Amino acid sequence: KAGVTQTPRYLIKTRGQQVTLSCSPISGHRSVSWYQQTPGQGLQFLFEYFSETQRNKGNFPGRFSGRQFSNSRSEMNVSTLELGDSALYLCASSSSTGQNFATEAFFGQGTRLTVV
Partner 1 sequence: SQKIEQNSEALNIQEGKTATLTCNYTNYSPAYLQWYRQDPGRGPVFLLLIRENEKEKRKERLKVTFDTTLKQSLFHITASQPADSATYLCALDPPEASGSARQLTFGSGTQLTVLP
* Residue numbers at the binding site for partner 1 (CB under 8 A): 4, 31, 33, 35, 42-45, 48, 50, 55-56, 58, 88, 90, 92, 94, 96, 98-110, 112
Q: How far is the CB of 90 from partner 1 (least distance, A)?
A: 5
C-alpha angle 13/91/11, rounded to 5°?
15
Q: What type of residue is 60?
A: F
Q: How far is the CB of 98 from partner 1 (least distance, A)?
A: 6
Q: How far is the CB of 77 from partner 1 (least distance, A)?
A: 19
Q: How far is the CB of 16 from partner 1 (least distance, A)?
A: 27
Cα–Cα distance list, 115 to 53, 56, 64, 77, 78 (Å): 29, 26, 15, 14, 11
Where helices occur in 5-116 by DSSP H, the ranges are none
Are residues 57 and 36 in contact, defined by beta-carbon separation less than 8 angstroms?
A: no
- The nearer residue to partner 1, 43 or 116, going by C-beta atoms, is 43
- The nearer residue to partner 1, 2 or 102, going by C-beta atoms, is 102
